[in-house]
Amino acid sequence: MMRFRFVEEHRGKVPTERLCEIMDVSPRGFRAFRSRPMSQSQRTDMVLLAHIREQHKLSLGSYGRPRMTEELKELGFDVGHRRVGRIMRQNAISVVRTHKHKVTTDSNHKFNIAPNLLNRNFSADQPNQKWPLGDCMQSPVG
């Protein structure tokens, strides 16, 4: 089935006979695939897909496979989590994960602020010229 879909999707770019040869399917089998009506399970999958997309939109993308399965069961569908997962995966429906912003810097504090001695002038003619000389920091020994 996947081989036939591949041939169907790419037959405008490459000749159908060549695609059938590459995918190791017969042209007759491909024509039968195209004329075959949709099966009952495929029709049910399409209905489920519509409901999954609707619930995904209503949940703002937060429902994954387990919660989506529960929502569909509440709507009256007798469906398992594997089928829901397969339909979601095939249609690239996934959970949109959001992370809360975590503040890592507290700018409103009462601590002493070190003076800006360099004023963004980081260049030095020799080593050990830009060391702060204060009460708590001493020049390096050497």
Helix (H, G, I), strand (E, B) or coil at 95: coil
Asked if pLDDT for residue 132 goes beyond 90, the answer is no
pLDDT digits (tens, 9 = 90+) for 40-67: 988 999 999 999 999 999 999 999 999 9
For residue 129, the model assigns a pLDDT of: 81
Q: Which residues contact 64 (CB under 8 A, 6 or more apart)?
A: 94, 95
pTM of the prediction? 0.53
- What does the alpha-carbon distance between residue 83 and residue 93 come to, in Å, rounded to a whole number? 13
- What does the alpha-carbon distance between residue 81 and residue 66 come to, in Å, rounded to a whole number? 6
Q: What is the CA radius of gyration of the chain?
A: 32
> What single letter denotes the amino acid at residue 46?
M
Quick count: other Cβ atoms within 10 Å of Cβ 88? Answer: 22
